[in-house]
Amino acid sequence: MNKVGILGVGSYLPEKKVTNFDLEKILDTSDEWIRTRTGIKERRFASPDQAASDLAAKAAERAIKDAGISQEDIDLIIVGTNSPDTLYPATACLVQDKIGAKNAAAFDLQAGCTGWVYASIVGAQFIKTGMYKHVLVIGVEAITKMVDEKDRDTYVLFGDGAGATILGNVDKGGLLSSVLYADGSLAEHLILPAGGSRLPLSQEVLDKRLQYTRMNGREVFKFAVREITKVSLNAIKEASLTVDDIRWFIPHQANLRIIEAGIKRIRIPKERAVITIDKYGNSSAATVPIALDEIYKAGKIKTGDKLLMVSFGAGMTSGAFIVEWSK
């Protein structure tokens, strides 16, 4: 089968910064409370006129430019998101139109915060089989529009942003291993209850504020620490590598304590972990590609470096993959 690697990377963050001190003014919280429990100092909020497709299109254009290809070269667009513009059509279709990728098929993939990791692994299969040459994978969120500003347990966590990659054939390196996992019995622990066929929107639903994200933080924390360890070690084993072979560990940026627990359990040096949660908060499906783009643009990734990317999220889901950098 064909080898699949990352040909281009791009990201976009909205201009508006919201600090913990800003949140002190509207919630019963404090900078100290937020920092010690989450590691977050500030996050980005999309503007009122920005939806997920707007953020995604900007990240996509940067990834396409970085890959040195044109929009017409894109064969498929996969968007991982929890905050689509609409239930339908797919946000990926809106992105296709915005960037002018007229030859591309397009669909959304819903896997919670693991969306971009799932989408990357799915996208790679289209290239491995020879069906497509270039797949645009985007993790994007305008999720601050879907959390309750009256709920300090969730409102302080989330931020908006988008990260994108172009997948394609490479001569060496590329995708070395991949692991996906789900446990639907835990679905109720992280859920947006209303707006689907189970609980359509109504005045009663709005009065109960069920149109916003609900989270059982304790259960999510337990799942996250367990899964970030399990899928990471499984991906390393599948690639016939050791922890020492991993140059960069790029985890989902949900909570600094989760990341630190994962680092300890996996036994990877902290200096090899990419941490952006302090600046951007939890941008859900976008955290991993945004973090990837940040160290890439900073010149910290060298050809041959092995990157372990891992995430977990609503579903509950988790996943990881290792790629040998070939750019």
Positions annotated as catalytic residues are 113, 252, 282
The DSSP letter of residue 86 is: S
Residue 100 region by backbone torsions, left for phi larger than 0, else alpha for psi between -120 and 50, else beta: left
Cβ(102)–Cβ(72) below 8 Å: yes
Tell me the C-alpha distance between 116 and 119, whole Å. 5
Other beta carbons less than 10 A from residue 49's beta carbon: 6
* Secondary structure element (H or E) that encloses residue 8, with its range: strand 4-12
- Enter the DSSP assignment of 307: E
Q: Which residues contact 286 (CB under 8 A, 6 or more apart)?
A: 11, 116, 139, 140, 141, 160, 161, 162, 163
Tokens of 285: 């499906």
Q: Point out which residues pair with 11 in neighbouring strands.
A: 163
Convert 201-270 into a string of H (helix), E (strand) and C (coil). Answer: CCHHHHHCCCCCCEECHHHHHHHHHHHHHHHHHHHHHHCCCCHHHCCEEEECCCCHHHHHHHHHHHCCCH
